[in-house]
Amino acid sequence: MCRTRPLLWLLAALVLISAPLRAAVASDTAQLAENYAVCAGRLAALTEHNWLMQDPAADAIAFRRDWTIALFEATSAAIPGDEAQRALSISRHRARREHKSLLNTSSFNQDPRRARLALATALRHLMPCHELLTR
């Protein structure tokens, strides 16, 4: 019995040490899923805009969008709860709507300054998405 007591203490210590690590991994997964959701929405808006404008890069952007969606689905599957899934869906649709608005302003606004600012903002918002896929 004396031999098992130190092993039990060691096991208890390992469990206590690993609990914050599991929480940190879950938090990182939730943040990663949120990032993928936002990027999937932005890339979906960019894909639609490129098809509308008949941009030859539309297929390459569509591939990036599909890749991001696959990564989003893989990370979001690890997050339990309908409320969390709903929040991710809302983030994705909100990012798509906002990015679509920026792209429309950049292409169709009569004010050249406003169009330039919208394009610069849209490009700035896409940079983290491209970095997320190429890391």
pLDDT at site 25: 47
pLDDT at site 134: 87
Instruction: Give the whole-angstrom CA distance, residue 123 versus residue 121.
Output: 5
Instruction: Give the whole-angstrom CA distance, residue 39 versus residue 128.
Output: 8
3-state secondary structure labels for all residues of 8-66: HHHHHHHHHHHHHHHHHHHHHHHHHHHHHHHHHHHHHHHHHHHHHCCCCCHHHHHHHHH
pLDDT at site 22: 45
Instruction: Give the whole-angstrom CA distance, residue 130 versus residue 12.
Output: 43
Instruction: Give the whole-angstrom CA distance, residue 16 versus residue 92.
Output: 36
Dihedrals phi, psi of 10, to nearest 5 degrees: -65, -45
Burial 68-96 (b: 16+ CB within 10 A, else e): bbebbeebbeebeeeeeeebbeebbeebb
Q: Provide the whole-model pTM.
A: 0.79
Q: Kindly give the confidence (pLDDT) of every residue in the chain, 135 residues in length, as a single tens digit, with 9 standing for 90 and above.
A: 455 566 555 555 555 554 444 444 456 889 999 999 999 999 999 999 999 999 999 999 999 999 999 999 999 999 989 999 999 999 999 999 999 999 999 999 999 999 999 999 999 999 999 999 887
Instruction: Give the whole-angstrom CA distance, residue 41 versus residue 89.
Output: 9
